[in-house]
A and B are shown apart, each in its own frame.
Chain A
Amino acid sequence: MSAELVTVTVDDRTVQVPAGTGLVETAQAAGIEIPVFCYEPRLGPPVGACRMCLVEIEGMPKLQAGCTLTAQDGMVVRTAATSEKAARGQESTLEFILVNHPLDCPVCDKGGECPLQDLTFRYGPGTTRMRFSKLTVEKPIPLSPLVALDRERCILCYRCTRFSEDVAADGQLIARNRGAHTEIATFEDEPYRSPFSGNVIELCPVGALTSTLYRFDARPWDIQSVPTVCAGCAVGCNVSATIRENKVKRILSRNHPEIDRGWLCDKGRFTYPSLRAPDRVTTPLRRGPKGLEEVSWDEALDTAEELLRSSAGAIVTALSGSETTEIAFALAKLLRQGLAAHSAVLPEATSNALDAFRAPLSAIAEAEIVVVVGDDPVVERAPIVDLWITQARRNGAAVITCSPMGDVRVPPGAATELCRTLAAPGNELGERLRRAERAILVWSGPGGGGGARLAELAHELGLDERPGSGAFHLPATPNGRGVAAAWSAAADADETNPEPIGLLVVSGDEAAADPSVRALAERAERVLVSTMFQGLATGWADLVLPGTGALEREGTMVNLEGRVQRLRRAALPPCPDELAWISKLAARFGVDVSPHAAAVYAEAASHLYRDLDLEEIGLRAQLPGRAPYEAPPAATTPAPEGPLAPSDERFVGELRLVRAHALFTGPAVERVDELRFQRPPAEVELSPADAERRGIATGDPVQVRSNGTSVALRARVNRRLIEGVARVPDEHAGDLHAAVEVIKA
């Protein structure tokens, strides 16, 4: 479908571009800038609102908004550089924009990196002719705890509202009133609550929308940017960290067009302050008579050595899935090669079978049909994937979600069974998938063998043969696959299950915060924890070794597409990093582990990535090609789960508990006050029928019980939820069992 080339003349320079190319891009191809404010192709069709891009087109009597036109063969375009009329038009627009814009550039966060400032300097009138009072309004108001809005600075380019309406499709940020009174607002001034709210800060071409975490914190000329990758989830958005005096000051997107298209979620953008959490562990801690006490590194390593030696043969390791591949590989070498400790608890199952259907995430936008299975909404597991799906819907794709709240409503845990149904001949939805040239499958939820069940379906539907198609498993951890692969590459021996457990090695914050790891620790004699936050170690750790954050690490991760991406250290950690102490400890057991990520990578890559060179990964990593399909091991637990057996005769009408995976949870998120409003409320969601049966309405306080335990929550009636289910955010579900009773308090 390659478009024919057309010839366009811009300011007497001739260029050839594919027909339909925007005029702004056409001019760019000729090395000529058409200045813009409202134009942003990622937000959908141009709106032509700001009128900054006025150009003269031969044969058209009036100036035209260049951003709204596309290249036509023989078109002759004159920008302000060669057309007096266009120059006057542009000067007019700038004059009008500046009529109400305050001149507070010296104290504005945008100062120095402000398109309005730049364009005014280049094209603007030297003086003001406006002698009336400017339209003034209240100074900055919080749009949310994360975003501040300064309405006086707003030039009404509508980028933020278009993002909210068309890209995030959250319908929260709007323009209200009309004419000169138009202003950006939310409903009743409620906080702008969207997993993607921070993007409007980057979209704003002036200093009207700013980050509350960054405001007045730095000036553009005394900062550095470090290109790295977000480790908030398995998408691995490409980011750039703004650094000043070795502190991360903000996170900006670094547009990888196949992965994130320049969007970030608020978790990735705003959790960096957790690096400076008050309970950050910066020195080793050892359990003493008064609880955890600081010890020197020498003492810590001695203690670690002693713990490991005395527990040899009875060591279990709990991994987080957020380690870099290098940390996981180094740890595995130490434990497996040095101590034959082959037993590991991985955060989730992984499978390579989906490599046969590999596609860039951007392929979702071009799909004809997208089918999502699994219990969790996509946005909670891999937020950017949700934006790609929204984009697909806008492009006319059929998007069908199959979940307890989906378009096709299925009970929780039914995704495996559903895949079988879809694969069976004659299934209507399955047939649509078979017929589609570009079909996308997504598994968003627990279970499914790390994508294995989805791979079976994809193979059955023949997606391996169709390059525009793809299948994605959305893991719960950012690098679960890399960690699992690194662990298994470090040694050959089989896993043993020591009982009793002599030592539990807990690697990373997520493992340390995981209730099932905590449960395992109760069966362990001693516990060694590596974590960033003391709060996660208190009460159960015998030895704590400080952990680092992804922004402090060098290394690699494998994202959910199977793309190996490179992390770069944006800030020095306040302590030696994991590789430093693993390497020292390994030496004590005669294992050679380099303290340098690059060296560990080179060794791991020879096992894992066919010697893919670190330098080759580059700033925007390439996606490896598809692998031939290999049938994964068959499902071990046969689905589906039968009807619930009452756990206690006193309860009637039990519901199945769905532990909802929420995006804004986890140790790092919990340490950023500004993110609190994004966290899942302490609510239980019920279907209208189940709520009515129990006389429960939205907002009612309720008790959710299962044998022995009880949790107090508020009820929310969710019209989309299937009957027979009680949906509770994981962090509020406590120790509840699979079958619960919900009672009005």
Chain B
Amino acid sequence: MSETLHDRIQELRAVYPDPRSAILPALRLAQEEHGGWLPPAALREVADSLEVTPATCVAVASFYDQLRLEPVGRRLVEVCTNISCALAGAQQVVEAFERELGVEAGATSADGAFTLGTVECLGGCGWATVVAIDNRHRLRVTKDDVPAIVEELRGA
């Protein structure tokens, strides 16, 4: 494990009256270090740094949508499909992404470049449709905006 990750987890532990509280931020850090998901090795590392079992890390990680136990693409495109976004046509936005990225919602493209997901309310209902790209929110996205967004992502 990179010394910095171990050290940063120790710093996180110090922030809390009970070090176990550091588990969510520690898993988040480990996920960033491991390409956006938590392979078993990452879970073992976090467990080791926090003096809990790897099973405990799975119990926690598997509860939260943003922590992933399966590999993801290099870019993560998540479209909110909850009520307000759905009323604004989120379904068409998802279809447009499926077309442009060549991948179905919930899957990762064959080249590992993109994972497309549909997600629950992102707290941007007034600016529907909300699309989170690597956790950064784009607001008022319509299906017509999608080709340009994908082009931009592919270019980057």
Contacts and interface: CB of A to CB of B under 8 A. Distances in A.
A354 to B, nearest CB: 34
Contacts of B56: 165, 171, 174
Interface stretch (B58-66, B92-100, B119-127, B132-140): B58-66
Interface in A489-530: none
A186 B55 contact: yes
A172 B63 CA distance: 17
Contacts of B53: 170-172, 187
Contacts of A170: 53
Interface in B44-77: 52-56, 58-59, 62-63
B59 A175 contact: yes
B63 A178 contact: yes
A188 interface: yes
B40 interface: yes
A176 interface: yes
A185 interface: yes
Interface string A126-158: 000000000000000000000000000000000
A177 B61 CA distance: 8
Nearest to A188: B40
Nearest to B54: A187
Contacts of A173: 55
Interface residues of A, number: 15
Contact of B55 (A174, A177, A178): A174
23 contacts: A161-B59, A165-B56, A171-B52, A171-B53, A171-B55, A171-B56, A172-B53, A172-B55, A173-B55, A174-B56, A174-B58, A174-B59, A176-B58, A177-B63, A178-B62, A178-B63, A185-B55, A185-B58, A187-B53, A187-B54, A187-B55, A187-B58, A188-B40
Contacts of A174: 55-56, 58-59
**What 5 pairs between A and B have smallest CB-CB spacing?**
A171-B53, A174-B59, A187-B55, A176-B62, A187-B54
Interface in B27-47: 40, 43
Given A174-B56, A176-B59, A187-B40, 6 more contacts: A170-B53, A173-B55, A175-B59, A176-B63, A187-B55, A187-B58
A52 to B, nearest CB: 24
Nearest to A186: B55
Contacts of A171: 52-53, 55-56
A178 B40 CA distance: 19
Interface of A: 161, 165, 170-178, 185-188
Nearest to A174: B59
A187 B56 CA distance: 8
Contacts of A186: 55
A170 B59 CA distance: 14
Contacts of A185: 55, 58
B61 to A, nearest CB: 8
A170 B54 CA distance: 11
A14 to B, nearest CB: 44
A175 B58 CA distance: 9
Contacts of A178: 62-63
A569 B40 CA distance: 48
A178 B59 CA distance: 9
Contacts of A165: 56
Contacts of A187: 40, 43, 53-55, 58
A178 B62 CA distance: 7
A191 to B, nearest CB: 12
Residue among B55, B56, B62 with max Cβ neighbours from chain A (10 Å) = B55
A172 B57 CA distance: 10
A177 B40 contact: no
A177 to B, nearest CB: 5
A171 B50 CA distance: 13
A186 B53 CA distance: 10
Nearest to B56: A171
A174 B69 CA distance: 15
A187 B53 CA distance: 9
Contacts of A188: 40, 54
Nearest to A165: B56
Most buried by B among A171, A177, A185: A171
A729 B59 CA distance: 32
Nearest to B64: A178
Contacts of B62: 176-178
A143 to B, nearest CB: 12
Nearest to A173: B55
